[in-house]
Each structure stands twice: as C-alpha cells, then as structure tokens.
C-alpha cells in the first residue's frame, strides 16, 4: 500500500493506492468498465437458425449433386434431400420471423436488394431455396419437358443451398463484434463444414438404403473433419489477440465451444469404427447433431461476451496502426480505468 497526498477542490486528501493493481486483462483505460458496443439482441432462434438453415442448405447441395447420377437409383436420395431442404428452409424462415421485433413486417426484407447487407442477401437466398426445391419436387418425376424443368429447378435449389449453408458465416463476420469480425476469414468455412456435418448426421439417423448411405456418409464425414479443422483454425486466428479470443476459452461460450469440438470428434470416431451397425450410426448421428448445435450456440454466445467486453473492442483498434494520430494509451493514469 502507498498513500499519496493530493489536493482535490482545495481540500487536501489522502489517496491510498494498492501497490499492485489487480491484474487487468489488457492495459489501457475504459469508461467504468462499461461495454462500448451493444450486445446482440438476438435470442436462441438465431443460433438455431444457423443450424437448421445450414443443414437444409447442405441437403439441397447434396440433392443437386445426386441428380447428376442418371441411373435412377438415387431418385430416392434426391427426393429426401429436397424434402430436408423444404422442411429445413420453412422452419428456418419461421425462426427468423419469430426473432424479429416486428414479425408482421418480415416481407420488408425483400423491399430492397442490398449487397452490403449479408442479412438482406440471406433473405433473398432463403426465399429462393424453398420455392425452387418445392418446384423441383413437383416437376422432377414428370416425363419429358416438365421433368427437364424440374431438373433445372433442382440444380437451382442446389445453388441456393450453397449460399444458405455458408452465408451465415458472413452475416456474423459483418459486425462490429470483435470475436466475430476477427474470425471472418474462417467463419463461412466453419459454418459450411458444420452444415455438411449436420446434414450427414441427419441422414445417418434416417437412411436405410446402403448406396444412399455411403454417399451421405462420405459427405458427412468430410464435413466433420472440415468442421474440426476449421474450429482449430478459427481459434488460432482469434488467438493472435488474446483479449479477442477469450470468449472461446472461458465462460459459457468457452464451454460450448469445447463441447462442440468434443461432440463432433466423438461422432467422427464413432462413424469411423468398423462394422457400421444401425446403432452406431444412430449414435454418430446424435453426437454429430449435438456437436453442430453446440458450435452454433458457442459462436453466438462468444459474440455476446465479446460485445460486452470493452477491452476486446479497444485492444485490436489500438494494435492497428491507423490510430497513431490519437493520444497513446500509456500517457496518463486514470481512476475510471479501474
């Protein structure tokens, strides 16, 4: 302890300061530790939407790919993929609408076309995915001309599916939230991989036809491997600035993040075990689904924690060079910083 005599408003007072300040996570002042940014107002519908929309999108992509097989043996898989896409994008739309502050105005999303807004782009992608898949499902089984049109709509739904499964990564990256912004290069890849794993897990639990199963197994397994790899890459990228990466390591978001990796790894190992019985496939599917869900919630919660932390906002901005014109962080001590 050290005491210091200072004059405040003409009165001499003793200020006692601790010799060692409590260890601050990062140097520099804050305003009474208050957050700079507003925390996301989104509730659990939105991370659920990331999952459902992702699974629906990846299913549509797989469905369009299965159309390439002209033998007719994969018609069942194409149909099931379309159904997954239709049901998924319908639920996804419902989740988005219910999270709006004014749900009755959801159509306002489509009154502009605005490439600077990933949410606007996503609204267009989502409204393309469902209807094209429905049209494909209605027409594809018909012979001749209308069947061909159905095929085209099937491929179109695959294109929309590609967007639907990955754009949410850009949606999250295009924010002022430090942990989301700083992991922007990896997030779309992570979300895309997670979407593949999600679709693979759903088909693990549902499919019985051996050939269809081999296809969805390959697709889902690559998805799980890519999801694990992208998660490692994201953590590494964020770790360049420890104050930004903190929500991935501690708190509820850190727990979810670790749980996601553990669950996806467990599902991958289960699916790789020899002699794939129905029981094993069910277990792999349940673990994979839980892993993908945990991942989406982890990313959401990490964003909330990151927005609440003023040091996560200030730190990266101070380490960029453009702010050298401003007074430097170590110039004076501050009461309000403690």
Residues in 87-106 at the binding interface with another protein, rule: CB under 8 A: 99-103, 105-106
> Interface with another protein includes 241 (CB under 8 A)?
no
Residue number, 19 or 144, with CB nearest to another protein: 19
Options 1, 2, 3, 9; binder of another protein; rule CB under 8 A: 9
* Gap between the Cα atoms of 29 and 312, Å rounded: 12
> Interface with another protein includes 119 (CB under 8 A)?
yes
> Interface with another protein includes 1 (CB under 8 A)?
no
How many C-beta neighbours within 10 Å does residue 120 have? 16
> Interface with another protein includes 268 (CB under 8 A)?
no
Options 149, 189, 252, 265; binder of another protein; rule CB under 8 A: 189
Residues 6+ apart with CB under 8 A from 189: 166, 169, 226, 230, 233
Residue number, 70 or 143, with CB nearest to another protein: 70
Query: Interface mask (CB under 8 A) for another protein, residues 288-307, using x and -?
Result: ---------------x---x
The answer to whether 120 and 113 are in contact (CB under 8 A) is yes
Residues 50-79 that bind another protein (CB under 8 A): 58, 61-62, 64-66, 68-69, 71, 73-74
Output the CA torsion 183→108→82→88 (10° steps). Answer: 60
Residue number, 137 or 200, with CB nearest to another protein: 200
* Gap between the Cα atoms of 80 and 162, Å rounded: 17
* Gap between the Cα atoms of 13 and 21, Å rounded: 21
Residues 198-227 that bind another protein (CB under 8 A): 210-211, 214-216, 218-219, 222-223
Binding segment for another protein among 137-145, 146-154, 242-250, 329-337 (CB under 8 A)? Answer: 329-337
The number of C-alpha atoms within 13 Å of 315 and in the hemisphere containing its C-beta is: 24
Sign (positive/negative) of CA torsion 239, 244, 250, 253?
negative
> Interface with another protein includes 187 (CB under 8 A)?
yes
- The conformation of residue 39, written as its DSSP 8-state character, comes to P
> Interface with another protein includes 84 (CB under 8 A)?
no
């Amino acid at each position: 302890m050290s005491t210091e005599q200072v004059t405040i408003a003409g009165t001499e007072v003793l200020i006692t300061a601790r010799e060692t300040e409590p260890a601050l996570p990062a140097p520099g002042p804050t305003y009474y530790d208050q957050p700079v940014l507003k925390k996301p107002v989104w509730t659990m519908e939105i991370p659920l939407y990331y999952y459902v929309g992702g699974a629906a999108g990846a299913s549509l992509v797989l469905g369009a790919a299965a159309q390439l097989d002209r033998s007719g043996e994969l018609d069942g898989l194409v149909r099931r993929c379309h159904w997954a896409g239709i049901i998924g994008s319908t639920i996804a739309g419902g989740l988005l609408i219910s999270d709006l502050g004014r749900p009755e105005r959801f159509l306002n999303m489509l009154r502009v076309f605005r490439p600077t807004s990933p949410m606007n782009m996503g609204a267009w992608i989502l409204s393309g995915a469902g209807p094209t898949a429905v049209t494909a499902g209605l027409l594809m089984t018909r012979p001749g001309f209308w069947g061909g049109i159905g095929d085209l709509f099937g491929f179109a739904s695959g294109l929309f599916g590609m967007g639907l499964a990955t754009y949410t990564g850009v949606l999250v990256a295009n924010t002022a939230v430090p942990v989301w912004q700083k992991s922007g290069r990896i997030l779309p890849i992570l979300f895309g991989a997670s979407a593949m794993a999600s679709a693979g897990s759903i088909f693990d639990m549902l499919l019985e036809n051996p050939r269809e199963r081999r296809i969805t197994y390959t697709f889902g397994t690559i998805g799980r491997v890519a999801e694990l790899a992208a998660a490692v890459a994201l953590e590494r990228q964020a770790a360049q600035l420890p104050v930004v990466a903190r929500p991935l390591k501690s708190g509820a978001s850190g727990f979810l993040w670790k749980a996601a990796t553990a669950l996806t790894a467990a599902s991958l190992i289960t699916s790789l075990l020899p002699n794939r019985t129905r029981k094993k496939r069910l277990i792999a599917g349940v673990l994979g689904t839980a892993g993908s869900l945990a991942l989406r919630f982890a990313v959401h919660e990490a964003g909330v924690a990151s927005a609440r932390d003023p040091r996560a906002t200030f730190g990266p901005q101070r380490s960029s060079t453009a702010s050298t014109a401003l007074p430097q962080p170590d110039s004076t001590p501050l009461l309000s910083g403690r």
